[in-house]
Structures are given as structure tokens and as C-alpha cells.
Structure 1
Amino acid sequence: SGARLVLTAMRQLEATGGRYALCTMCIGVGQGIAIAIERI
């Protein structure tokens, strides 16, 4: 689910000291969604 993707991305940012993460999901029939996360 989207919540799992975002939480995993946030944990990876903390673990690696990264600054940005990108989560994308394909919904089907040409639809999709994306979120960019910045660690501040």
C-alpha cells in the first residue's frame, strides 16, 4: 500500500542519511501516483 511505501522510504532516509526519496505506484489503466519526500 502507499502507506507502507512512504514509511519504508522515510526509514531508509533516516538509516542512510539521505535527503530525498521518491515513491511511485502504478494504479493501472494509465493511472499512477507519485510522492517526493525531503528530509529536513
Structure 2
Amino acid sequence: KSGARLALAASHELHRRNGRYALCTMCIGVGQGIAMILERV
């Protein structure tokens, strides 16, 4: 749930600020993580 919520919040901020890119980073435990770049087209 938290990853989807983070991505949605980043998407809303991207639209609100009229930005081009957003970067989301998420911890998935035990020293692992994942990053996602959103691009507004």
C-alpha cells in the first residue's frame, strides 16, 4: 500500500507543480530498496 500511495502523491505533486519528473524511493526491508522515476508526458 505505501508504495502506491507514495507514487500517487508524487504524481499529484508533479501535476500541481507543472513538473516533468518525479523520483520515488522506497525501502523494502533488509537493506533493499527500489526507485521509480515518473515522467509527465
Q: Shared fold by TM > 0.5?
A: yes
The aligned residue for residue 26 of structure 1 is: 27
User: Which range is displaced more, 3-12 or 27-36?
Assistant: 27-36
Q: Percent identity?
A: 68
Matched residue SS, 1:34 = strand
Q: Distance in 1 between matches of 2:6 and 2:30?
A: 21
- Unaligned runs of 5+ residues in structure 1 are none
What runs of 5+ residues in structure 2 fail to find an aligned partner?
none
Counterpart residue identity of residue 14, structure 2: L
Deviations 1:7-40 (A, max 9, x none): 0000001100000000001122111011000000
* Cα-Cα RMSD: 0.7
Number of residue-to-residue matches in the alignment: 40
Moved runs in structure 1, 4+ residues, more than 2 A? none
